[in-house]
Amino acid sequence: MLGSTLPVGADTPTLPSGPSEIIDLWPHGAPGMPMVPPAEDMPERSTNPALHDRALMHIARPRMAVFRPARPNGGAVLVFPGGSYRYVVVDKEGYELGAWLAARGVTAFVVFYRLPGDGWAAGPDVALSDAQRAMRLVCQRAGEFGIDPNRIGAMGFSAGGHLCADLVTRFDAQTYAARDAADALSARPALAALLYPVISMAPPIAHAGSREQLIGASATRALEDAHSPHLHVGKDTPPCFLCAAEDDSAVPVANSLLFHAALKAANVRAEMHLFAEGGHGFGLRGVVGKPAAIWPALFLAWARSQQFF
The pLDDT score that the predictor gives to residue 7 is 39
Radius of gyration of the chain (CA): 18
Domain ranges of the chain: 5-305
- Scored b (16 or more CB within 10 A) or e, 68-102 reads ebeebbbbbbbbbbbbbbbbbbbbbbbbbbbbbbb
The CATH-assigned architecture of domain 5-305 is: 3-Layer(aba) Sandwich (3.40)
Stated pTM of the model = 0.94
Residue 231's identity, in one-letter code, is L
Which residues does 39 contact at the CB level (< 8 Å), separation at least 6?
A: 58, 60
How far is the C-alpha of 62 from the C-alpha of 30, rounded, in Å? 7
Cα–Cα nearest to 186, from 154, 218, 223, 213: 154
Residue 216 host element (H or E): none
pLDDT of residue 11: 42
Q: Who's near 74: CB < 8 A, 6+ residues apart?
A: 146, 147, 148, 151
Q: Which mean pLDDT values do the consecutive 10-residue runs of the chain (309 residues) have?
A: 39 56 95 95 91 95 97 96 98 95 96 97 98 98 96 98 98 97 98 98 97 97 98 98 96 98 98 95 90 94 92
| Beta-bridge partner residues of 271 | 241
